[in-house]
A = this chain, B = another copy of it.
Amino acid sequence: MTVPTPSLPAHDNPTVVRLFEAAADAFADKGFHATTTRDIASRAGLSPAGVYVHFASKEDLLFQLSRVGHEGARDALAAAAAEANSPTEALSEVISTFAQWHAEQYQVARIVQYEFRHLSPDHQREVLTLRREIDGVVEGIITEGVASGEFCVEDTRVTALAALSLVVDVARWYHPGVRRTPEDIGADYGRLVLRLVGAS
């Protein structure tokens, strides 16, 4: 049994946690470049210089948010896939879980999906590795379902990308106050994706 990777750098430090939440709010709300380090610091109750005691730069904050966000999504996905007894159940559960995560964590999801290009090239590569793990889970389930005869698709990659598009776009339009709850959205997309793969 290995010790799980800490989800945050120094996640037991309350000031670091506050900075993390402040940056997540600000980046999701205004975007990376429209957010100032002063903005983040004041939301966290610190002076402008306080940020740099805990993070090397504004880009470092974005990177840590992206990394932790991806890891959280990947873990939620893997847990959902592990419990399933068939490709149909697995796909429905994984998409449902992922869609719900995109709604509940819509700030982090937005940063993960839409602020990616503002990471340094090295950090882009690292985050891309995590993203490919996630994409691979969905594509793998569809491949299994086609092999077992449960699914009927023209192109596995095209269908996997379409399924992920449904989910990712939740981060664009979701905000607290929309009609549906995150649970509703997850359930809706769990059903819709079974139509996409010809399983219902």
Contacts and interface: CB of A to CB of B under 8 A. Distances in A.
Interface in A145-183: 154-155, 158-159, 161-162, 165-166, 168-170, 172-173, 180
A188 interface: yes
Contacts of A114: 114, 172
Q: Which of A33, A118, A172, A195 has the most CB of B within 10 A?
A: A195
A16 interface: no
B161 A189 contact: no
Contacts of A34: 32-33, 118
Q: Is the interface of A mostly helix, strand, loop or mixed?
A: helix
A155 B117 CA distance: 35
Given A34-B33, A172-B113, A195-B196, A188 B158 contact: yes
Copies in the complex: 2
A192 interface: yes
B168 A172 contact: yes
A26 B155 CA distance: 34
Nearest to A179: B157
Contact of A155 (B155, B166, B188): B188
A191 interface: yes
A198 interface: yes
Contact of A166 (B166, B170, B172, B173): B166
Contacts of A196: 192, 195-196
